[in-house]
């Protein structure tokens, strides 16, 4: 009986504490230099897409497609980071940068 109570208390404590630890760890690693560089670049590209659309250099449909492509890169970055405990490897960063380069070429000059 005593071990059942202990197990219940232990499981309850883990259920309450684990998300807090995971959240704290995620906050620290979201600013990891490789992740920060990729995400900063995505942010800049988003601004460029919006500017090119406002200036009429790309159509609304082109802007929408470019935003979708950027969103896909961001989604991949998050999945990679999730798989790597909050970071991305240099090889993953290079892969994401190559994808961003291709999108950047489509935005205009």
pLDDT at 18 over 60: no
Q: How far is CA 94 from CA 61, 66, 87, 101, in A?
A: 28, 20, 14, 10
Q: What is the pTM of this model?
A: 0.69
Encode pLDDT of 26-50 as tens digits: 444 667 888 989 989 999 999 999 9
Encode pLDDT of 59-104 as tens digits: 999 999 999 999 999 999 999 999 988 999 999 999 999 999 999 9
Would you state the pLDDT for residue 5?
58
- Beta carbons within 8 Å of 97's beta carbon, 6+ residues apart: 38, 41
Interatomic CA distance for residues 20 and 7, integer angstroms:
20
């Amino acid at each position: 009986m005593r071990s059942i109570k202990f197990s219940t208390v232990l499981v309850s404590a883990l259920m309450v504490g684990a998300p807090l630890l995971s959240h704290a760890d995620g906050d620290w690693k979201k600013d990891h230099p490789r992740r920060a560089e990729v995400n900063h670049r995505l942010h800049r590209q988003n601004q460029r897409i919006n500017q090119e659309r406002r200036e009429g250099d790309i159509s609304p449909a082109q802007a929408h497609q470019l935003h979708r492509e950027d969103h896909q890169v961001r989604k991949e970055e998050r999945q990679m980071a999730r798989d790597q405990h909050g970071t991305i490897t240099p090889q993953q960063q290079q892969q994401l940068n190559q994808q961003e380069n291709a999108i950047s070429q489509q935005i205009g000059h």
